[in-house]
Amino acid sequence: MTAVLSTVRVSTTSDLRISVLVSEYAGLTADGVIAVDMRSQHQRDVQGVLPGALAVDAGDVLDRLTPGTRESLRVASPEARWVLISDDGHDAEWLAWHLQARGISGATFLVGGFAALHAARVRAPLDSGELATISAH
């Protein structure tokens, strides 16, 4: 008689990737990771928008990206992959840790935040819907 044993992989906090470098940003968003721009509306007005990103106020991120709440986005799921972007990366890091603690292991943050993206002149690709909206104006 042969016994078949299965191996269960248990993820620990050390297994989870939490940070994303500016050099990785465009590739990750092209692969379907959803960018979340947590800067205030005033900051977006002054500094410019982040094309391709969802604009979610930092105070609403936990409720919007945690699945199963009244306030959660339709795309919020435990399997969703997010990269949180704040002005300098600090608020995004804190919220990414909290989302991972809630079981959303795909929550990451951009090291250096929008300031680092802007300094490196990195942009995420626009999808066809965004291009059509921009062209219509």
pLDDT tens sequence across 26-75: 999 999 999 999 999 999 999 988 988 999 999 999 999 999 999 999 99
pLDDT tens sequence across 68-117: 999 999 999 999 999 999 999 999 999 999 999 999 999 999 999 999 99
Using alpha carbons, list the distances in angstroms from residue 41 to 36, 47, 58, 84.
13, 10, 11, 16
Per-domain residue ranges of the chain: 14-135
pTM across the whole model: 0.79
Please provide the DSSP assignment of 18-35 as one string.
Answer: -EE-HHHHHHHHHTTPEE
CATH superfamily of 14-135: Rhodanese-like domain (3.40.250.10)
Buried b (16+ CB within 10 A) or exposed e, 31-49: eebbbbbbbbeeeeeeeee
Using alpha carbons, list the distances in angstroms from residue 66 to 29, 85, 91, 133.
20, 17, 17, 29
Q: Is the pLDDT of residue 13 over 50?
A: no
Strands (E), 24-110: 34-37, 54-55, 82-85, 107-110
Q: Rounded CA gap, 34 and 55, in Å?
A: 11
Do 124 and 32 contact (CB within 8 A), yes or no? no
